[in-house]
Structure 1
């Protein structure tokens, strides 16, 4: 089962022991590891059990200033999570985890904050930049609002940042681009708007990027760079334009690519077939035209392929249907007119599939002849179909009707 379909989770293994180098790929682990990591760092916090240690430790003094500033701008805490944020013993605060500093193992520092599902309302003060040795910050499912403070640039050891399911606003928080240790970035389900900065995918070491369910616009940056990401989720934004061929730059690492409902148009570039490690590809609910690239037949690790609710035409390639690990292939609500080979009977191969609302002869629940003729009489030549004016001399594509919503 791909990671995205398993609730898009991540882990925090052995925070205190290998603090700055803790994961090669945080996105490749499940939430089941979160409790392990919390237990370990909680054990470490117990070692810092006296008031005197807290008051004589400069790092914890700075942390005390940060947490008191944060508490002042928390307006609602229905579960009283922050009720014990009193006094300088910050390692005893609920949701705060301490560990030995990577620079001096005899000194305790605030290494992690986990307030997931706390339903806290407030915003993030500039003083959080005082937590200079913070390794992870988890604020999933709260009501934090406003913008990210620029002081986050001081969090040079931060490798996991989860701000999902909150009410953050404004343009993409470019301060995260300055975090040299960042591995896992989760900004989904917020109100970020405007374009994605091209520099995001030039960032070395970044393993997982979740920006889905925001208000991001413009296009997916064509300068995707030499990214090391294994999971990229763009879903439910309004990017528009084509998926750039430079997606091939992810070839050595990308395992999950999710582009559901991102207003993509044009043809699916054959370079997607270069992503040889891909296990999950979902480009459903867009306006993609033309044939399904045969290059996808080279994705030997592919388990789930969803191209539904687009305007694909032509033949469903047999090479895709015989992929050795394919378990689910959804290509409903398109304009395919033929299925090659085993594609006509994927049930016999044990593959779950959905081929409804296409133009397939002798198959049930297909489109009407009128719908099919309107599209298939004007086939798209992907060699002449360009997005964003990238080729001024290219002929304009034939206007196609919008796909039905159901």
Structure 2
């Protein structure tokens, strides 16, 4: 897929194509759509890593690459100040997840379930920065993290309406009140 000169493109939805594993494709290395606001490419069997050019989409609001075969680390991604929907579940992302999601104050939906993130950056089953996500309403982090307590500051998220199960994690300790 070539996307070098789509400077006016604001909405891209290419989902549920389910190309065969043999015909799977990578994301373009040069994502030339600087005005893109919506990127939905879930259920496509996309392989490889998320290119740095995708991570630099400053205007993006909805970012959905779930149910693909994407892999690698995401440590240099998510300097997207307008992002409010982030879905990267059911992929093969690994390594350390960023200690925080810098500049993303408007995030309302976060789904990172069923990946292979390394727990080294976490102080428990959930990253501590989750409690700083003031606008978060939906949180799904199952089947990712190795061990630990649910951080107390998760109770700081007044807007949280849906904390999906934390299955597939070895959570210990008590559940913070008023969860």
TM range (shorter): 0.7 to 0.9
Q: CA offsets per residue over residues 184-205 of structure 1, 9 Å max, x none?
A: 0000000123232223123111
Counterpart in the other structure of 1:66: none
Shift of the 177–207 alpha-carbon distance from structure 1 to 2, 3 Å rule, reads farther
Q: For structure 1, list consecutive stretches of 5 or more residues without a partner in the other structure.
A: 1-53, 64-75, 91-107, 251-406
Structure possessing the higher radius of gyration over alpha carbons: 1
TM-score by length of 1: 0.35
Q: Rate the CA distance shift 1:226–1:131 in 2: closer, same or farther, 3 A.
A: same
> How many correspondences in the alignment?
158
Structure 2 CA distance for partners of 1:89 and 1:166, relative to 1, 3 Å: closer
Aligned partner of 1:152 in structure 2 is 78
For the 8 Å contact 2:45–2:68, the answer to whether it is kept is yes
Tell me, yes or no, if structure 1 residue 240 matches structure 2 residue 172: yes
CA–CA distance in structure 2, aligned partners of residues 118 and 209 of structure 1: 23
Matched, 1:168 2:88: no
Structure 1 residues 89 and 126: CA distance shift in structure 2, 3 A: closer
1:125 maps to which of 48, 51, 54:
51
The answer for the alignment partner of 2:18 in structure 1 is: none
Q: Secondary structure at the match of 1:200?
A: helix
For residues 89 and 104 of structure 2, the distance between their equivalents in structure 1, rounded to whole angstroms, comes to 18
Confirm or deny: 8 A CA contact 2:78 2:102 kept in the other structure.
Answer: no
User: Residue 175 and residue 223 in structure 1: after superposition, are their counterparts in 2 closer, same or farther (change >3 A)?
Assistant: closer
CA contact (8 A) 2:132 2:156 kept: yes
* CA distance, structure 1, for counterparts of residue 152 and residue 32 of structure 2: 48
1:113 to 29, 39, 50: 39
Residue 115 of structure 1, CA deviation: 1.0
TM-score (norm 2): 0.74
Q: Secondary structure at the match of 1:199?
A: helix
Q: 1:79 to 1:239 in 2, by over 3 A?
A: same
Structure of higher RCO (CA pairs closer than 8 Å, 6+ residues apart): 2
